[in-house]
Amino acid sequence: MSDSDQSHEQSNPPPDTSTQGRTINPVTRAGKTHHQSSTDTFNLFFFLFDSLAKLDKLTKGLVEANPELAEQIPSDPDYPTLGPYGLTLKKYSQPFLQMLVCRLADNYTTYLSEVIREVLHAKPEILRSAEQVRVDYVLRFSSVEELTADLIDRKVADLGYRGVVELEKWFAEKLGVALVDSEHERRDLIEVIETRNVFVHNRGIIGPKYCRNVPDSPLSLGQQRTIDLDYLIHAFTVLVGGGHALDERLGAKFSLGDSDV
């Protein structure tokens, strides 16, 4: 995080997630919840960012009025515009940015589970397959509706453990809907999800799975993954913009609205 970043004192709106200049608004309950949760996550950063900038401004005014306090206020000649609060944010910027990116990624994967549930409740016949279930399992339920609801829960749970490539295949084969719009968006989505996994499971150290799933990355095995504000904005655009576009496709194909599912 640079000292120029810290100079902003107005809240920044979330990044533009429009597609080809066209604004896309989520239409499903899952899509709207995903949008709100992700926007709140992004705005948390700028709330803290702006609050600390204002505290630094107050501190600067206090020192100007009382020069004898200058020696007691932390400073860094390499970042002359940063006050003590901005320097603290800079010191801890990596864990904070990592936390926000991980939350954005988790919001997206939760959205996928929730919107799949909406689709399956709207069109339960999608569950039809050659897969067999035990008779004693079926007899646990007092109605077809209860059985269907449990089968949907099982399918959503199963898909929750799939990677992007497997999910993309399931969306195409079972729903007839593309998970992403292009190969470029697919690569970006996989990279953001794998970055989240590196932070959560390996303290940010690049492992074999990241190298295998993101072969074009300049990062090498064993390297420490670091991110900045630009990457946070990139992740928001990939996950929320991609979610909006997918939500529009699913809503149109399956006539989904703000359901109570």
SS3 205: strand
End-to-end CA distance of the chain: 42
Asked if residue 19 is part of any domain, the answer here is no
pLDDT tens digits, one per residue of 62-104: 999 999 988 889 889 888 889 999 999 999 999 999 999 999 9
Which residue shows structure tokens 């992403």? 180
* Phi, psi angle pair for 189, to nearest 5°: -65, -45
> How many domains, in total, are found in the chain?
1
Asked if residue 218 is part of any domain, the answer here is yes
Which residue shows structure tokens 């979330």? 14
Asked if residue 129 is part of any domain, the answer here is yes
Spatial distance between the Cα atoms of 146 and 175, rounded to a whole number of angstroms:
23
Asked if residue 5 is part of any domain, the answer here is no
Distances (CA, A) of 171 to 128, 177, 236, 249: 15, 6, 22, 11
Domain of residue 216, residue span: 26-250
pLDDT for 12 equals: 58
pLDDT tens digits, one per residue of 232-253: 999 999 999 999 999 999 999 9
Asked if residue 145 is part of any domain, the answer here is yes
The structure tokens listed for 220 are 């090498």
**What pLDDT band is residue 9 in, cutting at 50, 70 and 90?**
very low
Neighbour tally for 239: CB within 10 Å = 26
pTM comes to: 0.85
pLDDT for 171 equals: 95
Asked if residue 260 is part of any domain, the answer here is no
CB 212 within 8 A of CB 164: no
Cα dihedral across residues 99, 101, 104, 106: positive or negative:
negative
Asked if residue 214 is part of any domain, the answer here is yes
Asked if residue 159 is part of any domain, the answer here is yes
Helices (H), 80-143: 84-91, 93-122, 135-138
